[in-house]
Every structure is written in structure tokens, then in C-alpha cells.
């Protein structure tokens, strides 16, 4: 793909309208977070809150003149036709499902930013040669059904529809059943025809842009992700009477995994490994009983696939060694999700960088620490991302997550200009820089 030239027009979106949409969507699934004293968002995939959010977004898509289709995975696409109906569309989007302790921006900026680009094109009467589509992907977070980037992975063909539908949440409810219950069991084919290109705007969720003092990140790719669920089976026993050497303490084994992971990271033997045990539960969970069972999840991230594979092997052999340390203790390991590092397309990265330059916005290139739908769609077409600066060191998956209105508008301006150039404005359309209202 050839990157569009610098002589192409720039497009400015209505930052106030974008902000109003972000704040309105954030009311759906809103809760009072006791720990921070802030208002957070809890909109796990395919819950009633997520369904309400989806309906709101579909309403906005229709108001913007988009033709909406929902596929069998619940992914939503809103399409703005181009002058050439046979041309492959330029795709943008992200997700609106959230973790249980979210802010207003993760994923939502990409979806509502895409809709804002369409509104702006409509306001200006701009026709593009290629169609433009805005996507909302199902269960990006993986918080509810245990596998992240699920909807986009199905759209890209990495995960089958059957496997995705069969995934269950912690209460045993299947994703397929929740699609039916919420009415998002669409009829469109879940396999996405390769778009011309995909560009996703997302908050950075880290400190790099703020520390560099720049507005925009040009994302070079996404690091590898490995999620595993480990269950340790010990033996319930009396806390006061059971001699230490007779215990099979599943809680102790779980704690040893947590500290081993930290030691692995600090050893430097696995490159830029990050390791997190985000869920841990011991059973029966009572003061005077040696834990009979412990469950924990391990989230590993690594930009280097070989180092990631070595870290996974180390973890596995540690778990096996734990089985020998206490009589009767056994362990089972289940892989929940695994993605390799994904580099983004250089020409689309250049297009994003050029758009930022043309808007007079400073930018840096950076690798994404978080997973994104873009890494799945990259298997189908040239792909890149625009990152937006966050406050408070870019904290995310936390109600404190915050990117200010200007930062959001800047990111979506860059998205808009990049999309317009990729979709090719039809000559004669009003395409000069438009002052923000």
C-alpha cells in the first residue's frame, strides 16, 4: 500500500460533540467507585449494560447515516458508502465493552471517534471513493469470557465462531447464549472481508506520551500476550492440628507462583517481560482451614516472542516443581489466550505520522503494551493505530483513567485526516482544513 501524500487535505472534527458522546456513553454501566471516590464504568461484554451501550452507539451510527450490520459474533459495523461501491472499505473502530473498574475512554474513543469522523464528513458534504466503516468488536477485554480481542479474532479467522460461542463466564453462562439473550446474535457472516486498511484510535494507557510531552503516538505494533489459568489442588485440613509437613496447602503454592513470576521479571532473563496475577482465590476461604484449592490467572506480556516462549516454559516447570514440594498437591494449567507480537504496517504508520505533522501535533512512535483489536485486523489488511495521551501516567483499567477533551480531539483529528486520505476524497469535495467549532 502506498501512503497518501502530504498534499492531501486535513480534517478537523468537532471535539465538543465527540466529548459529549464519550460522556453520555460513560453513563451506561456507571458506578460509584468506593476506592477512588470517582465515577467508574462497569460494562462487561454482553451484560445488560453493554447491550444498552451498543444500542446507543447503533442509534448514533444510524443518525450519522451509516448502514448497520451485526455479525454472528455480535460485532457491529456501520458503513458509509463511497463513490466506488466496489472499492474495499477503510475500517476504523474499537470496542465499548469494559473491565469492571474502567474509565470512559478505553475502546470508546476509537468507536465514538470513528462516528465523529463520519459526522464531520457529513457536515462538510465530503464524499470518499472508498466506503468507510466503523466497527464495534465484541469482548475485546476478555474480562468476562476469558479470551481478549475475541470478536476481532473471530472476524480475522484466528478463533472459530463455535469456539467463541462456547466460552463461558465464571458463572458458566455461554457467550453464544448471551448473544441471543441480548439480541446481538446477528446474521452477517463473522469473517470480515479484508478491508483496504484499518486505523484505530485509542488512549495510550501508559506514561510514554505524557513523559515525552507529545500529543500523539504512532503505534508500531503490539507486544505478545499469554494468559493462563492455574488451579492448584491441595487438601483441606485443620489449621491448628495439621503438622506443617502433612499439609498440601494450595494457597502457599499460589503465593509461590506470584513471587516466582516477580523473580522471573527481575532476573532480566526474559527481556521486557511483564507478569501479573490479577485473579487469585482460595477455597474454602476460611480462617482456620488449610486451603484445599487455589485458582489464579497469569498475564504475561513480552515484545519478544522467543523470550515469551521461554518465560512460559519457566512458569510451567515452576508449577510442576511445586507439585513435588508438598505431598498430594497437584496443579492444572489452562491456556486462556495467546497472541504473538504483531508489527503494524509501515505505510499506515507513515500516514498517521504525516497526518499528525499536518495538524501541527508532535508525535513519537511506540509499541503498545496493551492488546487491541487492531492486532487481529492486522492479519487482514495494512493496519496501524493512533495513541492519545492520558493523564496521571496514563493510568487505565481504573476509574482515574482520563484523557482531556483537547487530547481526545487531537487524536480523532489525526484519525480523521488519516482515514480521509486512505478513503480518497472525491475531487471537488469541500476538503480544506475546517476550524473546530
Whichever of 106 and 133 has its CB closer to Mn ion, that residue is 106
Q: How far is the CB of 94 from Mn ion (least distance, A)?
A: 6
Q: Binding Mn ion by CB under 5 A: which of 50, 97, 106, 190? A: 106
Instruction: Choose the binding region for Mn ion from 19-27, 103-111, 222-230, 419-427 (rule: CB under 5 A).
Output: 103-111
Instruction: Give the DSSP letter of residue 217.
Output: E
298 binds, among Mn ion, ligand GLV, none (CB under 5 to 8 A by kind): none
Whichever of 175 and 322 has its CB closer to Mn ion, that residue is 175
Q: CB nearest Mn ion: which residue?
A: 107
Residue 105's CB is within 10 A of a number of other CB atoms, namely 24
Kind of pairing, strands 90-94 and 132-136? parallel
190's grid cell: 463473522
The DSSP result for 367-391, as a single string, is: EESS--HHHHHTTTS-EEEEEE--S
Residue 314's CB is within 10 A of a number of other CB atoms, namely 18
Q: What are phi and psi of 210, to 5 degrees?
A: -65, -40
Instruction: Choose the binding region for Mn ion from 98-106, 176-184, 239-247, 413-421 (rule: CB under 5 A).
Output: 98-106
What are the angstrom distances between the C-alpha of 1 and each of 349, 351, 353? 11, 11, 16
Kind of pairing, strands 363-368 and 216-222? parallel
Q: How far is the CB of 378 from ligand GLV (least distance, A)?
A: 15
107 binds, among Mn ion, ligand GLV, none (CB under 5 to 8 A by kind): Mn ion
Q: How far is the CB of 152 from ligand GLV (least distance, A)?
A: 12
Instruction: In whole angstroms, give the CA distance from residue 123 to residue 144.
Output: 38
Q: Binding Mn ion by CB under 5 A: which of 29, 53, 107, 425? A: 107
Which residues contact ligand GLV by CB under 6 A?
Answer: 141, 148, 370-371
Whichever of 107 and 186 has its CB closer to Mn ion, that residue is 107
Whichever of 148 and 312 has its CB closer to ligand GLV, that residue is 148
155 binds, among ligand GLV, Mn ion, none (CB under 5 to 8 A by kind): none
**Residues 6 or more apart in contact with residue 33 via CB below 8 angstroms:** 39, 40, 101, 399
Whichever of 117 and 337 has its CB closer to ligand GLV, that residue is 337
371 binds, among ligand GLV, Mn ion, none (CB under 5 to 8 A by kind): ligand GLV
Residue 42's CB is within 10 A of a number of other CB atoms, namely 19
- Cβ-count burial of 236 within 10 angstroms (0-12 exposed, 13-18 middle, 19+ buried)? middle
Whichever of 202 and 247 has its CB closer to Mn ion, that residue is 202
Residues that bind Mn ion (CB under 5 A): 106-107
Amino acid at each position: 500500500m502506498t501512503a497518501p501524500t502530504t498534499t492531501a487535505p486535513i480534517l478537523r472534527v468537532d471535539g465538543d460533540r465527540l466529548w459529549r458522546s464519550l460522556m453520555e456513553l460513560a453513563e451506561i454501566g456507571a458506578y460509584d467507585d468506593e476506592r477512588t471516590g470517582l465515577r467508574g464504568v462497569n460494562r462487561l461484554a454482553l451484560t445488560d449494560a453493554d447491550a444498552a451501550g451498543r444500542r446507543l452507539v447503533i442509534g448514533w451510527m444510524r443518525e450519522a447515516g451509516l448502514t448497520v450490520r451485526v455479525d454472528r459474533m455480535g460485532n457491529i459495523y456501520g458503513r458509509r458508502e463511497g463513490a466506488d461501491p466496489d472499492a474495499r472499505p477503510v475500517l476504523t473502530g474499537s470496542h465499548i465493552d469494559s473491565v469492571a473498574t474502567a474509565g470512559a475512554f478505553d475502546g470508546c474513543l476509537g468507536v465514538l471517534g470513528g462516528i465523529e469522523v463520519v459526522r464531520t464528513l457529513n457536515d462538510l458534504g465530503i464524499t470518499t471513493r472508498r466506503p468507510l466503516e466503523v466497527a464495534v468488536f465484541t469482548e475485546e477485554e476478555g474480562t468476562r469470557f476469558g479470551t481478549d480481542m475475541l470478536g476481532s479474532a473471530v472476524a480475522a479467522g484466528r478463533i472459530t465462531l463455535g469456539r467463541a460461542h462456547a466460552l463461558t463466564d465464571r458463572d458458566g453462562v455461554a457467550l453464544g447464549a448471551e448473544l441471543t439473550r441480548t439480541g446481538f446474535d446477528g446474521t452477517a457472516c463473522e469473517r470480515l472481508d479484508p478491508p483496504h486498511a484499518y486505523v484505530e484510535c485509542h488512549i495510550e494507557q501508559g506514561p510514554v506520551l505524557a513523559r515525552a510531552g507529545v500529543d500523539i503516538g504512532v503505534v508500531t505494533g503490539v507486544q505478545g500476550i499469554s494468559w493462563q489459568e492455574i488451579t492448584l489442588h491441595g487438601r483441606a485440613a485443620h489449621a491448628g492440628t495439621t503438622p506443617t509437613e502433612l499439609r498440601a496447602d494450595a494457597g502457599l503454592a499460589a503465593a509461590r507462583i506470584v513471587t516466582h513470576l516477580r523473580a522471573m521479571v527481575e532476573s532480566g532473563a526474559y527481556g521486557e517481560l511483564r507478569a501479573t496475577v490479577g485473579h487469585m482465590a482460595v477455597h474454602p476461604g476460611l480462617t482456620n482451614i488449610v486451603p484445599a484449592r487455589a485458582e489464579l490467572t497469569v498475564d504475561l506480556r513480552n515484545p519478544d516472542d522467543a523470550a515469551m516462549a521461554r518465560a512460559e516454559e519457566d512458569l510451567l516447570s515452576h508449577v510442576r516443581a511445586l507439585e513435588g514440594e508438598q505431598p498430594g498437591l497437584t496443579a492444572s494449567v489452562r491456556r486462556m489466550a495467546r497472541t504473538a507480537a504483531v508489527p503494524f504496517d509501515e505505510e499506515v504508520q507513515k500516514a498517521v505520522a504525516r497526518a499528525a505533522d499536518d495538524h501541527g501535533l508532535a508525535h513519537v512512535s511506540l509499541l503498545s503494551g496493551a492488546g487491541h483489536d487492531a492486532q487481529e485486523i492486522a492479519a487482514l489488511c495494512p493496519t496501524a493505530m493512533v495513541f492519545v495521551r492520558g493523564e496521571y501516567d496514563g493510568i487505565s483499567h481504573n476509574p482515574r483513567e482520563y484523557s482531556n477533551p483537547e487530547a481526545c480531539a487531537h487524536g480523532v483529528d489525526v484519525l480523521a485526516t488519516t482515514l480521509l486520505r486512505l478513503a480518497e476524497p472525491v475531487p471537488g469535495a469541500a476538503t480544506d482544513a475546517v476550524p473546530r467549532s
